[in-house]
Amino acid sequence: MKRTRLLIVLAVATLWMGGVVWRLWSVQVHDHESYLRRAMRQQQQVLELDPPRGTIYDRRGRELAVSVAVESAFAVPREVGEPDAAAAAIARLTGADTARLQRLLASDREFVWVARKLDPPQARALRAAALPGIYFLEESKRYYPMREVAAAVLGYVGTDHHGLAGLEAEWERAVAGVPGRRTVLRDARQTTLASLDLEISEPQPGEDLVLTLDAVLQHIAEEELARIVEERRAQNGSIVLLDPRSGAVLAMASWPGFDPNHFAASSPESWRNRVVMDAYEPGSTFKMVTAAAALDGGLVSPDDLFDCEMGGITLAKTRISDHKPFGLLTFRDVIAKSSNVGTIKTALRVPNGPFYETVRAFGFGRTTGIDLPGESAGLLLPVERWGPTTKAYVSFGQGISVTPLQLATAFAAVANGGRLLRPYVVAEIGHEGARRRLHPEPVVVREPVASRTVATLRSLLTEVVVSGTGKRAAIPGYTVAGKTGTAQKAVPGIGYLSHEFIASFVGFAPVEQPVLVAAVAIDDPKGGYHGGEVAAPVFRRVVERALLYLGVPPRREPLERWPGEPVPVPATPEPVRIADREVAPEPPVADAPPAGPALPDLVGTTAREAIAGVARLGLRPVLVGSGVVERQEPPAGAPLPPRGSPVQLYLGTGVS
């Protein structure tokens, strides 16, 4: 019996020892790799460390966006003695959310971030608090030393170190760099340590960007934009400056602005780069394109006469009004005084197809291809969908939407002699000492019109500033060309707002050798809304300051003729166009009867003589028919009517 019990004990002991040996073999040999991996997961934490993003410079090497080394705080929740008290202390020192910190510190996780990329004063204060279970690692943080300057262009970076807007988002892959990796070891007492024996890979910095923007020009544009928006209590505004010789963007300003260092403190509306994202109806600035289409087709010349019908025209039973009544105007004055009726009559001379193709050739209805995100293509209906009045409305900038950048590039094509260039913002990319130029030569997209057309357009646009609606854009010492625009705001699904307008001006200077193109758009200004009174003065202030900064000297003598414009020579008179009719040229007109108390007798005179005579009296001639005057109303001898009154001249062919 005793022997049996002993054998049982020995058998049990043998089995127990065998089980222990088997288990030890299983753990140490058979399942070694599995348990090793589990131990490493429990004892090691792999942290990904953000690399320094590439620096963004302006064209003169000024830093616009840099990466700085900062500290981030993390916690090992098991080591935090009192989670609620620790959370309250961290929140007080860093501004973090207390409830979120309480949840993190009370969790059973091995590692939690509690405050990322702290400002130096915050990091020092949190270190001084010496909270149990709180540790620090060095990370990289994006910083914008000029704060609001070019913020909408640069964009901003989130706490995850990814670009969220602007250049930071568009060039993320190049600028972001390669993250580093650091393995953190935890010992048996749950203490977190760093070991040189564990995996460490250093972060690799991203590539730098050198921009075409000039921080000084950017500041000038933003300062003047903020000034006019505040003075006029406008909703928003935008300004863009281009170099017409290359397509380089020298300044791109949007209002309202924001500080990208604290972008979350501003509304998303202020983050918009309005120069490329906001499309609006351009109004009369678009008359440049209409003029280009007619001139390029040889369908109009600057001295052609148009009857602007004293303020309105009826097409397809639709009455389209002018911004003020005009009578007879030369085409030069149609553009200078910005007559809608004269522009419509000009557009009606151009077939729909060629007109549409000219609009497209200037870059409207498609993106410019600029190296920025979120660009709008604007709106241009296909010509197949045009109704009987579409061309009339498009001719003076209604029923079409454009961006400020599109307008600026179109006017730059006029300024540089006829080349539509692709605009760009990034000039160079790479690490210091190994940067590559992205645009060694301007990218010519197309040539919208012939060089002779460009020369005439320059002359017409200069007249806008000399004697037309753009007088307030004139800069002493410089020749300026441009076009004003005043457009009713259009809201999809609602229509045109009767009391809200967009005032704009687009132009370039100096005309003889343009170095700057500027587009200004002000949304819903108060106390005056016309482009000539709101936007043109902003253009003048910005461009004048910019020209002086760029070292472009003012002229002392007036320019005798515009570059590319042919020297005038005597020529055989061509037929005079009045609206859509032609009147044969006549010899020089004799002086009309002097103004007096009664109307002179104009019967038997040619159309040209009658027009000159009536105009000298300060009256408005209205022609009916063609040939010579057969009848007039009021009749000859009638009392002289008030200045500007119409005189009906009925023409016929009975008298040669």
Active site residues: 284
Burial of 314: CB neighbours in 10 Å, binned 0-12, 13-18, 19+: exposed
Instruction: Give the C-alpha separation, 41 to 32, whole Å.
Output: 14
Beta bridge partner(s), residue 176: none
Q: Which letter does DSSP use for residue 260 in this model? A: G
Instruction: Give the C-alpha separation, 84 to 102, whole Å.
Output: 6
**CA of 653: how far to CAs of 140, 578, 605, in Å?**
87, 17, 12
Structure tokens at 42: 């429990």
Burial of 196: CB neighbours in 10 Å, binned 0-12, 13-18, 19+: exposed
Burial of 234: CB neighbours in 10 Å, binned 0-12, 13-18, 19+: buried
Burial of 595: CB neighbours in 10 Å, binned 0-12, 13-18, 19+: middle
Instruction: Give the C-alpha separation, 28 to 33, whole Å.
Output: 9
Q: Find out whether 297 and 353 touch, Cβ atoms under 8 Å.
A: no
Instruction: Give the C-alpha separation, 542 to 214, whole Å.
Output: 13
Q: What is the DSSP string of 66-126?
A: EEEEEEEEEE-GGG-S-HHHHHHHHHHHH---HHHHHHHHTS--S-EEEEEEE-HHHHHHH
Buried b (16+ CB within 10 A) or exposed e, 455-468: bbbbbbbbbbbeeb
Instruction: Give the C-alpha separation, 65 to 62, whole Å.
Output: 9
Q: Find out whether 472 and 478 touch, Cβ atoms under 8 Å.
A: no
